[in-house]
A and B are shown apart, each in its own frame.
Chain A
Amino acid sequence: MDTRSIVTEIIFKALRQLNDELAQGKKIEISTDTKLFGPEASLDSLSLVSVVVDVETGVSDSFSKTVSLTDDIAMSQQVLPFSSVQALVDYIIQLLDKE
């Protein structure tokens, strides 16, 4: 698998783990278009943190690199890295390419 596919699967896995903890009727749709945070988003901040923690751990395990998804750099981007799954994939690849 290429980097994009691996990162996408890490995020999907984090969302599946979140869905395991959500009640029926509250589970979120999992796709690259899923809006994570912001207007019309699927997650509240409690759930977003759950996803962030799992994704940071997954990236560290898969790429042996530490990424921080909620630091000042993340928050100084032109668009919110959590706008959607696709935006988060793009941001993580950008972080991995920087190393």
Chain B
Amino acid sequence: MSLNAEKMTLSGEFVDLRPLCISDADLTFKWRQSPRSLLLNRGANSAWQQGEWIAARPANEFNFIIQLKDGKPIGMVSLTDIDMINLRGEPGRFLIGDEDATKGIPAAAEAMLLLYQLAFDHLGLHRVYGAVAEDNRRMIKWQLYMGMTKEGRFQDHYFINGRFQCAVLFGLIEPEFHKVAAPRLKAMIAAGHMKIAAPT
């Protein structure tokens, strides 16, 4: 891999993606305790464990903190399981931890565009893929909006919220990224610049 995952920062108009570091343990652990995170894979049991987990990330993973342009951290996202033989990788660990700070701002859209541009345009991957718990309907709609194709499901793959849930499997190949996902994400980002309607 020609890119340095530990030092890379990706810059956008509304957010930057900067490398996740051990000093983010307390904040990211707090985010992982939120009700929304119940729909993700189980994480660390303490901030200390979270720090251990961050320290153990392999060099061929890209783990980012999503931060506003003023430096305020608002979430996290990763690109993992990068396979430079088969040219595929898995975006994931996507969590907006501070939802209030992102209201009215296309933060999630731009964070995902930056991550996909890293995957397809910089790393030259051909395909990204992932799995979402069936109850995580908002994330499933998000994946479909971005042009992801529903490729199948793993039955009772997760035990979340006290019951088994299927994993919905998604995939996106490079031509579809440029044809569908990138224009939609760019449109969402453009919405962040538009004039709003006067109150009625």
Partners in one complex: yes
Q: How far is the CB of B48 from chain A (nearest CB, A)?
A: 26
- With A and B bound together, what is the CA distance between A99 and B100 in angstroms? 38
Q: Which label, helix, strand, loop or mixed, suits the secondary structure of the B interface?
A: helix
Closest to A28 in B: B103
Task: Indicate if the CB atoms of A49 and B188 lie closer than 8 Å.
Answer: yes
Task: Indicate if the CB atoms of A71 and B187 lie closer than 8 Å.
Answer: yes
- With A and B bound together, what is the CA distance between A74 and B105 in angstroms? 17
Q: How far is the CB of A22 from chain B (nearest CB, A)?
A: 9
Task: Indicate if the CB atoms of A26 and B141 lie closer than 8 Å.
Answer: no
Please, what's the 1-or-0 string for B72-100, where 1 marks a CB less than 8 Å from any CB in chain A?
Answer: 00000000000000000000000010010
Please, what's the 1-or-0 string for B21-53, where 1 marks a CB less than 8 Å from any CB in chain A?
Answer: 000000000000011100000000000000000
Task: Indicate if the CB atoms of B195 and A80 lie closer than 8 Å.
Answer: yes
Please, what's the 1-or-0 string for B2-22, where 1 marks a CB less than 8 Å from any CB in chain A?
Answer: 000000000000000000000
Contacts of A35 in B (CB 8 A): 104, 196
Interface size on B, residues (CB 8 A): 34
Interface size on A, residues (CB 8 A): 39
User: What 8 A-B pairs have minimum CB-CB distances, sorted nearest first?
Assistant: A41-B104, A83-B197, A80-B194, A83-B196, A44-B102, A87-B197, A38-B196, A45-B109
Residues of B participating in the A interface, judged by any CB pair closer than 8 Å: 34-36, 96, 99, 102-110, 137-139, 141-142, 144-145, 183-184, 187-188, 190-192, 194-197, 199-200
Residues of A participating in the B interface, judged by any CB pair closer than 8 Å: 17-18, 21, 23, 26, 32-33, 35, 37-50, 52-54, 70-72, 74-75, 77-80, 82-84, 86-87
17 more contacts with CB within 8 A, not counting A49-B141, A50-B138, A79-B196, are A33-B199, A35-B104, A38-B196, A42-B103, A44-B108, A46-B138, A48-B188, A49-B142, A52-B145, A54-B141, A70-B191, A71-B187, A80-B191, A80-B195, A83-B197, A84-B200, A86-B200
